[in-house]
Amino acid sequence: MTDDPDAFDADALRREYDPESRARALQSLLIDEGMLSTDTIDQIVATYEDEIGPLNGARVVARAWTEDAFRERLLDDGTAAIEELDIDVDTETMEIQVAENDETTHNLVVCTLCSCYPWAVLGLPPTWYKTPEYRSRAVKDPRGLLRDDFGLDLDGGVDIEVWDSTSELRYMVLPQRPPGTEGLDEAELVEHVTRNAMIGVDRLSDGSAASDGGAATVDDSDALNVDRPTFEAPWQARSFALAVALTDDRPWETFQRRLVDEIDRDESRPYYEQWLSALERFVLGEGLLDRSTVVDRIAEFAAGDRTAHEFVEGDPHGHSEHEHDHAH
């Protein structure tokens, strides 16, 4: 029988238990049920942190700068053109559309619902992209947002087009090729593309190379704290990977609806706390786990009766000593 996820008191759990115990409990139970493995979770985290990232997007941009025919295909059908570069786009989940900057138009990408983002080409969204401040002001006052939080003061003659991503359609920006790069080849041009330019909060204005192709280059911001890491704690990476793994054979929207509900419930909460609560409601709503089992397992991790060692295959210290006394 499926638990009613709306009857699940996630707020009470949040007050009583730390998020690390809650995320560990979900992973532990899902492994016990044979729904996923530790290796799967570790691989997802490693893939999104190390392999899928803005460097892919930088390759797309550099190719568009050097091949007019590719640029035309990219603007006509972004997903198909991106896949020409052997970049895997999950077309069952999303399509990618590319908006081109020019002298009189600047494009800005946002997701006002939650954090929809073209992962295949830009990796994981930066922390500031998911904040209520960015999501709101990008629509209401994009010019002020760019000026105040990203140091991008656009001329009044430049129009700003805002593209609101959805779960089905994600956007990226094709920035203008900066002056001073005319003699560079495609590989060299990759080093001049920034992640933020492909989101639209940066506008490449000269030929100086980025610190690494596809990296953020703006200075720190008090309002959006643009230099914060994507994952600030292991439980955040774990929660992210669990949602990705569980929606591999389920529509992403089944999780996204829960996430949107959590964001609407309290926009002031940190993003990954909202994500974890949405994940808890998701596993209950889908009937993957039952409420009492989840709560009991969280309590075990919080009390130290179970530890993260159990996620290491063959580790004999997965449970506390007194638990081994009666485990079998």
Tokens of 273: 């706390």
CA distances (Å), origin 177, targets 68, 73, 100, 121, 183: 13, 17, 11, 18, 12
Considering the candidates 21, 28, 114, 167, report the single residue annotated as catalytic.
Answer: 114
H or E, element range at 64? helix 54-66
> Is the CB of residue 200 less than 8 Å from the CB of residue 174?
no
Contacts of 278 (CB under 8 A, 6+ apart): 243, 255, 258, 259, 261, 262
114 included as an active-site residue:
yes
Q: Is-catalytic flag, 320? A: no
The verdict on whether 111 is a catalytic residue reads: yes
Give the active site residue among 21, 115, 165, 239. Answer: 115
The neighbour count for residue 250, using CB atoms within 10 Å, is 12
Q: Are 135 and 105 in contact (CB under 8 A)?
A: no
Active-site annotation holds for 116: yes
φ, ψ (nearest 5 deg) of residue 136 = -80, -50
Chain segment 53-70, per-residue pLDDT in tens: 788 999 999 999 999 999
- As a whole number of angstroms, the distance between CA 293 and CA 21 comes to 14
- Closest by Cα among 240, 274, 234 to 257: 274
- List the catalytic residue out of 21, 28, 37, 111: 111
- Catalytic residue, chosen from 21, 28, 116, 167, is 116
Question: Given this model, what pLDDT does residue 252 score?
Answer: 85
Domains (range + CATH), the chain: 5-35+231-314 (no CATH), 52-199 (3.90.330.10)
Q: Is the pTM of this model over 0.75?
A: no
In eight-state DSSP terms, residue 123 is -
Kindly list the averaged pLDDT for each block of 10 residues, start to end, along the chain of length 328. Answer: 58 84 95 92 82 86 97 97 92 89 96 87 86 93 95 94 93 95 94 93 68 37 47 89 92 89 88 93 94 94 85 45 35
